[in-house]
Structure 1
Amino acid sequence: MKNMTVTELSEAFGVTRQAMNNRIKKLEEEFLAKNDRGVTVVNEAGIKQLETHYGKVILEDESTTEKLSDKNAINIDFDKIISQLIEDKNTEITRLSEQIAMKDLQIAEKDKQLDQQQQLTAKALTEREQTLIELEQEKSKGFFAKLFGK
């Protein structure tokens, strides 16, 4: 149980000691006590009355502390979930990057094979054209030219 002196209360509420002393004199006796040095102190219930009057909370009650503790626990759990999600996404990105690299290699190989196919086709067409030209030339030669190879 928290008890506070006039000086402590005036500092906490940001008022003069005299103003706080006047306010405490208006409190009912049930909110006041004497400490071991005989100084008048205000108990927690009295402090709550003063908080209501000044519109300022200076004491954290246990439920507030528990709520903050619960919020901190939730935030920690949330942070763990976020960290796990980020880790999972990074793993997925790495896996997909590796797949893309593999596909790029496969595409490069197919491009190489296609280029070779086109070169072979072009060579075959050139040879065919050359053969057709030679045949035309042979047809245009006379009988004796063909016979003697001229």
Structure 2
Amino acid sequence: MGGLAGGAELVLVPEFPETLADVSEYVLSGLRKGKHHSIIVVAEGFTAVGSVQTGKSPGRIISDFLEQTGAIETRLSILGHLQRGGSPSAFDRILASRLGKAAVDILADGESGVMVALTGQELTSMPLSEIARPSENFNSEIYELINEIAN
């Protein structure tokens, strides 16, 4: 959703694998059509097909690859703390206290291999094995809309 709201021309997500060559061709195609820039959003968990894991972030790998073509100048912004770094709201502070207490209660009950989750307004324990699987909430309609608008 952030890619659509931010005007991204390309959103890279784990659910739709792409190669570095695909990304490069997409950007070069935009340049040939007269575009002067391309905003690429790289979701957490995305790995370009065939890329070697170097310890660099996927965004850095893509940026470096595009720069190596010689035709593209890149500017990489990794949101990370910038995105998440706002002051906590009253809701955030209360939720943190509730989550902390629930986690302590779970440990005191001898439960392990779980995390505390907020579902609606209720706190529940959720097995980590469920967290590790791919999200079922991915909205492919939004993803397709981004590609349709950008092209």
Q: Which has the higher helix share?
A: 1
Tell me the TM-score range normalised by the shorter chain. Answer: under 0.3
TM (norm. structure 1) is: 0.21
TM (norm. structure 2) is: 0.21
Q: Which has the higher strand share?
A: 2
Q: Relative contact order: is structure 1 or structure 2 higher (C-alpha 8 Å, sep ≥ 6)?
A: 2
